[in-house]
Each structure stands twice: as structure tokens, then as C-alpha cells.
């Protein structure tokens, strides 16, 4: 089992996490001021970054490839000047992104108000590319394009070109859906295709040349992953966790339209303060009508009352437990409501993990970001959708998910192979990280109380929803050393300090890797609210996610290593508090 293979003391601002890995999915932000600088787009910080979390920071190798490809589109109306491009994994994803950008373009009343400034190109492995006409009427939205998709190869990609003034909207669709290509895919293109030279040509008739295929057995890796995840019950795996959420939502939209309600909006509820991009993907990109409910029994009561009064839900999305406050929703009660009122119950178990909790008994769909603890390596992205066999929606959702959604196109083979290798000891790592997190929580809670520096520690164990969490804990663990040994409480911890200054002092003094993401084999800390909600701090605070919240994803290090670092950081926070 892998532990921290680097000394955090040697890290500097902007270093890739893991250090030196060109495909690392986090970046080191050692001081609170660095996180604030990243959130506020401070040049000092942005110029130092060699990488970043791929949804928040488009990998530089992807930018480099898109610039090269964009140079070949000069026969398009505007040429390469004033143009930008998104590279996505499939034609279907390109159509969804293009549809969103065309709508934004019309709303902004830019020069080409008919949406003509947004184009879709198919880019083939032999270096040829060609512009593709619209696949469906934008009025129908991205949820159910008519007709069949023209087959493309595993290595082929799609490109969405757009006016540079639409960059903020393009960045939003990249971030909220995770449809973009991975750094490995971009690297493979730059190293192995004609795009690395100058002979890359435009193929106007769309004919595809020969493709180079990977030799690292991604098909075998996919089969192993299906068996490893939820006993093989998962639908086609996705390239990322947010893509899994988006694809599930699109499938639900398909069911909605099939019920002869296509003229009404798709209505979903979000229960609890979910990960930021889940909410924004549903509302901003997919244009769902979304109602937000806080984690509490009274909020379930409010939801039930609304359902009795005629609210017609298509789905409810929640997390178990939630990120970042680690509260556990009453899935049993929500499941009962889903059956009584006929909506799909979708649960994200990325933080809880199937190694610790058994959720399928009380939901219809489980979505997981495999990028996190399932991989642990912090160097590859992936996602999965598990359809519960006993769900009344199971067969229809399976058909909807597979319609136009080909995992072989979406998830790059090299990424699949790395994911399979990283996840071989997944359950063992979850057990160790969960035990370490409990150890860290005990250290933190001992420094609480009236005279302590810690105001509150958010963790399933010891929370007011622990009873709910316990009802879903695994009864026995794979490889347990003691009979009846149960699943743990997870690896994620959030802390609220008595003052913002104390939080900043703790963060700055904590000698661990610091940056976005969670579920890494090494301990990773972040100033969560600044990273996720910098532009909506007041709104986040209404749900208890305060500006100075500190989140720690506890890794596999030895307990003494953790104790020394946490204790040092707590003493720094206490010194600041006493000096006020």
C-alpha cells in the first residue's frame, strides 16, 4: 500500500501534485494567500501554476493542442483570429457544449447572433479534421438528438470553436461537465499524430484515415473495473465523476420527455449542500429547474409537503455523506418518497465510498468520482454510474444512458489502464485513510470547547447524523482482521475555527500538500470555500459553508507523522487566537 512518497516541505507554489507528474490533478497552494490569489486570478499565482485540478485549470498540454488544431481552421468564417476552442472526448459532448455556447452567444447579442460563431469539428487520428453541421435543432436541447451518431474512432476527438468573448461560458461548460479531453489524451496526440508537425490538413468531406490504437489493453482494464465497482452492476463507466452526474441527468431528461411532458421543464431537487459543480451542471448547463433543500429532517418534511401539494419531481440528487460538511441525509425516508411520488433518487458516494457504506438498497443510481480515493494516485480521472438492479427505473435508465453514450470514445485508454492499476488496493487504502481520519478528528476535537481554538469539526462520526450514517455502514469489511469489523467513517474532515485568522494560521502552518481535490493517498488540505465558492461566499455561508472553512483529505501516512503536523498547525492557530 502506497504512502506519501514526497516531502511536503520541499513543495513550492504551483508544483504539480503529485510532484513532477505531468498528469497530476492537483496543484500546491502552500499559503492561504495563495488560494485567495488563485480564486481572485492574481497573476503572481496563475503564472506560478504548472498544472491544476483539470476542471478548474485546463491542462497546458490541452491548451497547446487546441491552439495547434485551431490554426488549421482558417477556412472558417472568422479564421483563427479572435477564436478559441474546446477539445472534448466525443461528438455528443461537442454538440452539448456547442448548443450551450450558441444560446449564450444569442443572449449576449454578439456579432453573429444566430449562433453561427460556434462550430463543431471532428478531428481524426491521422491529423485530418472537418467541420460538422448541427446534429439537431438547438430548440430540442442537448438531451435527445435525433438519428444515429456517425462512428468515430477511439482516438478521435471533437473540437468546439467559438468567439473569444465566449471564453467565460466555455470555461463554465468545461468545468461543470468535465467533458474535456484528458492531459494524457492531449499528450498522445501531440506525440503520435501529424498534429505535432505542419501537415495537418482539413478534410472537407469528413473521411477518416487510419487510426493508431493503444497497446496497453484498455479493454481488459475496463472489464476489471466493471467487476471491481459494485460487482459489475455499473453502466458504462465515464471519463470523469462530473460526466457521470451529467450523463445521469441527461438520461433522466430522456425519461422525462418520454413521459409526454417534453413541453415542461425537467424538475429536480438537490438535497443538502452538494459539490458546487453538481448544482451548476444541473442548472446552468442542462437548464433543469432545481429546488435546493438543506440537510435536516425538517427540510425532508418541507419536501414531502411540497410533493403532497402537487410538486412533480423527475429526480432528487444528494451525496452520502455531503462535501464539505459531511452530513448524511436520511436515505431511507428519501427513498420512500421516491417510490411514493415516482422520482429517481441519485446518490453520489464519492466521499463515503462503497468500501465503507452500502447505499444501493435505498436509491436508484449511485454516481462516483473514481478520480478520488478509488484511484488515490491523484494522477488520473474517471467516473462511474451504478444502476441498482431492483430500481423500477433501472432498465429505462440503462437504455437512456447507452443511447449515444459510448464509453470507449469518452474514456481514453491510457487513463483506463492507469485507473485500473491505481485501484487494485482501493478497499485497503480506504480502511487505512478512514482510521487515520478518525485519529486526526480526535486531535482536533481535543482542542475545541469554550477555551479551544477549534469551533467545530465536521465528520460523520460524532455528528448529529451519525446514526443515519451508521445505518448504511458496511457490516463487515473485505479483509477484516476482526469478526464483525465494520466500514469506517471516511477520509474527509472539515474544520471551522474560532476566528478566520486562526483558520489561516492553521492552514499556513500545516506541513502537508495543499490544493484542490480529495481522496488522495497523501494528506491534502484546502481552503475549500475560497476554491469552490469565491464568487458566492454569502450564499455558501447561508448553508454553513463559511469562508474560512478548512478541509483535510487524510491520507495513508503514519500516525506520528500526522500528529506532529496537525499539532504544530493547531499551536500556530492558538497563538493567533491568544494574540487577539
Please tell me whether residues 175 and 226 are part of one structural domain. Answer: no
pLDDT above 50 (res 211) = no
Calpha distance 426→418 (Å, rounded): 13
Describe the crossing of helices 218-228 and 413-422 by its angle, rounded to 10 degrees.
40
Question: DSSP E strands: which ranges in 432-576?
Answer: 454-458, 492-497, 513-514, 524-526, 550-553
Q: Is residue 207 part of a domain?
A: no
Pair 351, 323: CB distance under 8 Å: yes
Residue 62 has phi, psi (to 5 degrees) of: -70, -45
Q: Is residue 50 part of a domain?
A: no
Please tell me whether residues 247 and 377 are part of one structural domain. Answer: yes
**What's the domain range around 139?**
60-196
Please tell me whether residues 417 and 475 are part of one structural domain. Answer: no
Calpha distance 409→420 (Å, rounded): 18
Report the CATH number that the domain containing residue 552 is assigned in CATH: 3.90.1150.10
Q: Last residue of some domain: 152, 179, 196?
A: 196
Residue 323's closest CA among 449, 482, 492? 492
Tell me the residue length of the chain: 580
Burial of 425 (0-12, 13-18, 19+ CB in 10 A): middle
Q: Last residue of some domain: 398, 423, 448?
A: 423
Please tell me whether residues 305 and 355 are part of one structural domain. Answer: yes
Q: Which of 87-101, 202-216, 266-280 has the lowest mean pLDDT?
A: 202-216
Please tell me whether residues 454 and 549 are part of one structural domain. Answer: yes
Please tell me whether residues 160 and 148 are part of one structural domain. Answer: yes
Residue 304 has phi, psi (to 5 degrees) of: -65, -40
Query: Quick one: which H or E segment has residue 88?
Result: strand 83-88
Report the CATH number that the domain containing residue 418 is assigned in CATH: 3.40.640.10
Please tell me whether residues 232 and 280 are part of one structural domain. Answer: yes
Please tell me whether residues 417 and 431 are part of one structural domain. Answer: no
Average pLDDT of the segment spanning 396-405 = 78
- Residue 403's pLDDT band (cuts 50, 70, 90): low
pLDDT at 53: 84
Q: Is residue 14 part of a domain?
A: no
Q: Last residue of some domain: 397, 423, 449?
A: 423
Residue 330 has phi, psi (to 5 degrees) of: -80, 85
Please tell me whether residues 418 and 433 are part of one structural domain. Answer: no
Please tell me whether residues 485 and 563 are part of one structural domain. Answer: yes
Q: What's the structural domain count of the chain?
A: 3
Q: Which of 273-282, 434-443, 539-548, 552-561 has the lowest mean pLDDT?
A: 273-282
Average pLDDT of the segment spanning 483-491 = 83
Please tell me whether residues 361 and 466 are part of one structural domain. Answer: no
Please tell me whether residues 233 and 250 are part of one structural domain. Answer: yes
pLDDT at 142: 40
Amino acid at each position: 500500500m502506497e504512502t506519501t512518497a514526497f516531502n511536503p516541505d520541499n513543495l513550492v507554489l504551483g508544483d504539480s501534485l503529485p510532484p513532477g507528474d505531468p498528469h497530476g490533478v492537483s496543484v500546491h497552494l502552500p499559503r492561504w494567500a495563495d488560494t485567495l490569489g488563485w480564486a481572485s486570478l492574481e497573476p503572481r499565482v496563475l503564472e506560478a501554476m504548472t498544472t491544476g485540478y483539470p476542471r478548474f485549470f485546463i491542462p497546458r498540454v490541452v491548451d497547446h493542442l487546441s491552439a495547434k488544431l485551431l490554426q488549421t481552421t482558417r477556412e472558417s468564417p472568422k479564421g483563427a483570429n479572435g477564436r478559441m476552442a474546446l477539445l472534448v472526448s466525443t461528438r455528443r459532448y461537442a454538440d452539448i457544449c456547442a448548443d450551450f455556447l450558441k444560446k449564450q452567444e444569442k443572449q449576449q447579442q454578439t456579432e453573429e447572433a444566430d449562433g453561427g460563431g460556434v462550430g463543431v469539428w471532428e478531428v481524426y487520428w491521422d491529423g485530418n479534421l472537418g467541420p460538422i453541421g448541427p446534429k439537431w435543432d438547438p430548440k430540442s436541447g442537448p438531451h435527445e438528438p435525433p438519428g444515429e451518431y456517425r462512428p468515430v474512432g477511439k482516438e478521435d476527438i471533437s473540437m468546439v470553436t467559438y468567439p473569444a468573448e465566449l471564453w467565460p461560458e466555455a470555461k463554465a461548460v468545461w468545468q461543470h461537465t468535465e467533458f474535456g479531453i484528458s492531459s494524457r489524451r492531449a499528450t498522445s496526440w501531440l506525440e503520435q499524430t501529424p498534429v505535432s508537425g505542419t501537415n495537418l490538413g482539413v478534410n472537407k468531406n469528413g473521411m477518416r484515415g487510419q487510426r493508431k490504437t493503444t497497446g496497453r489493453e484498455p479493454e481488459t482494464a475496463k472489464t476489471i473495473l466493471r467487476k471491481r465497482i459494485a460487482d459489475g452492476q455499473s453502466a458504462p463507466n465515464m471519463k470523469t465523476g462530473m460526466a457521470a452526474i451529467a450523463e445521469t441527468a441527461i438520461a433522466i431528461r430522456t425519461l422525462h420527455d418520454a413521459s409526454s411532458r417534453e413541453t415542461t421543464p425537467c424538475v429536480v431537487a438537490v438535497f443538502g449542500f452538494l459539490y458546487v459543480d453538481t448544482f451548476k451542471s444541473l442548472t446552468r448547463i442542462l437548464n433543469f429547474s432545481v429546488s435546493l433543500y438543506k440537510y435536516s429532517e425538517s427540510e425532508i418534511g418541507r419536501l414531502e409537503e411540497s410533493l403532497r401539494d402537487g410538486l412533480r419531481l423527475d429526480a432528487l440528487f444528494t451525496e452520502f455523506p455531503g462535501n464539505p460538511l459531511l452530513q448524511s441525509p436520511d436515505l431511507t425516508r428519501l427513498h420512500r418518497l421516491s417510490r411514493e411520488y415516482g422520482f429517481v433518487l441519485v446518490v453520489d458516494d464519492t466521499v463515503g465510498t462503497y468500501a465503507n457504506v452500502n447505499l444501493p438498497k435505498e436509491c436508484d443510481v449511485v454516481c462516483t468520482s473514481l478520480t478520488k480515493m478509488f484511484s488515490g494516485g491523484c494522477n488520473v480521472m474517471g467516473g462511474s454510474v451504478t444502476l441498482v438492479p431492483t430500481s423500477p427505473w433501472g432498465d429505462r435508465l440503462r437504455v437512456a444512458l447507452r443511447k449515444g453514450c459510448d464509453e470507449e470514445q469518452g474514456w481514453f485508454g491510457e487513463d483506463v489502464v492507469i485507473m485500473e492499476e491505481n485501484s487494485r488496493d482501493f478497499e485497503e487504502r480506504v480502511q487505512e485513510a478512514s482510521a487515520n481520519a478518525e485519529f486526526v478528528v480526535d486531535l482536533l476535537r481535543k482542542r475545541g470547547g469554550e477555551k479551544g481554538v477549534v469551533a467545530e469539526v465536521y465528520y460523520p462520526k460524532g455528528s448529529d447524523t451519525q446514526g443515519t450514517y451508521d445505518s448504511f455502514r458496511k457490516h463487515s469489511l473485505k479483509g477484516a482482521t476482526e469478526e464483525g469489523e465494520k466500514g469506517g467513517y471516511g477520509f474527509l474532515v472539515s474544520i471551522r475555527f474560532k476566528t478566520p485568522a486562526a483558520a489561516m494560521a492553521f492552514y499556513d502552518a500545516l506541513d502537508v500538500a495543499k490544493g484542490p481535490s480529495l481522496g488522495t493517498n497523501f494528506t491534502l488540505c484546502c481552503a475549500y470555500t475560497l476554491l469552490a465558492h469565491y464568487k458566492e461566499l454569502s450564499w455558501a455561508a447561508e448553508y454553513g459553508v463559511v469562508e474560512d472553512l478548512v478541509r483535510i483529505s487524510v491520507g495513508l501516512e503514519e500516525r506520528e507523522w500526522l500528529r506532529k503536523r496537525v499539532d504544530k498547525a493547531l499551536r500556530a492557530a492558538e497563538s493567533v487566537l491568544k494574540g487577539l
